[in-house]
Amino acid sequence: MNEEVLNIDSLTFGYSKEVLLFDDFNLSVAQGQIKAIVGPSGVGKSTLFELILGRSKLHKGTIKSASLSQVFQDPYSSFHPSYRIRDQIAEVASMVGYTQLMEKMGLNEEHLNALPHKLSGGQLQRCSILRALLMKPKLLLLDEPTSALDNLNQLDIMKLIVSNLDSMGVLLITHDAHLAQWCADETIRLG
């Protein structure tokens, strides 16, 4: 049996006591699994990530996770505007093996040596995914990771993530039901 990398047990949370986003919610992710969270805007998908990251306080329940990294929907908010991409990746991750991974993602040294505003949204999102993978997480949180990418890049990036499942589990937030159906072992619908 693969190691459990995320366990959410009896989670209860809402921004008010009267309106709960989660009421006795349970979820687990094991190494080698992708689980997808789908649902319309406002049902708590991104809030769930905030809870996993410890940025919001639970009303009730527990969340236990292994070492994690995350990719957010907006790549421009993921990087400091005045530092080169390479420096920001090296600050949090080992650069061992980055060349091969970078090439698989359609990136090159020029992209890594650039400031964030010099890259397109798609290029910057691929840099964000590169950084997350180089951190060697046990749990990878992906919040709409392919929304800034064209269809061909979406497929290539998701194939790359799937090829790394031997070392991690993935929790994916997406509006794309087809993407969830294609890659996820289980889809959880909210809302």
CATH of the domain at 182: 3.40.50.300
Is 22 a member of any domain? yes
Half-sphere exposure of 12 (CA within 13 A, CB side): 10
pLDDT in tens, 143-191: 988 887 777 788 888 999 999 899 999 999 988 888 899 999 999 998 8
pTM of the entire structure? 0.93
What gap in Å lies between CA 94 and CA 131, rounded to an integer?
A: 9
As a whole number of Å, the end-to-end CA separation of the chain is 31
Is 161 a member of any domain? yes
pLDDT in tens, 97-107: 999 999 999 99
One-letter amino acid of 148: A
Residue among 96, 92, 75, 104 nearest 163 (CA): 104
Strands 34-38 and 186-189: parallel
Residues, the chain: 191
Q: How confident is the model at residue 14 (pLDDT cuts 50, 70, 90)?
A: very high
Quick check: 56 pLDDT over 80? Answer: yes
Parent domain of 16: 4-81+137-189
Residue among 124, 161, 166, 159 nearest 142 (CA): 161
**Average pLDDT for 33-47:** 91
Whose tokens are 């949090």? That residue is: 92
Is 159 a member of any domain? yes
CB 11 within 8 A of CB 51: yes
Give pLDDT, residue 126: 92
Number of domains in the chain: 1
Give pLDDT, residue 62: 97
Give pLDDT, residue 1: 64
Query: Any alpha helices (H) in 71-120, and if so which ranges?
Result: 85-92, 98-104, 109-112
What gap in Å lies between CA 180 and CA 38, rounded to an integer?
A: 8
Q: How confident is the model at residue 25 (pLDDT cuts 50, 70, 90)?
A: very high
Is 155 a member of any domain? yes
Is 95 a member of any domain? no
Is 25 a member of any domain? yes
Average pLDDT, the chain: 92
Is 116 a member of any domain? no
Is 42 a member of any domain? yes
**Average pLDDT for 10-32:** 93
Report residue 108 as tokens: 């090159």
pLDDT in tens, 87-140: 999 999 999 999 999 999 999 999 999 999 999 999 999 999 999 999 999 999
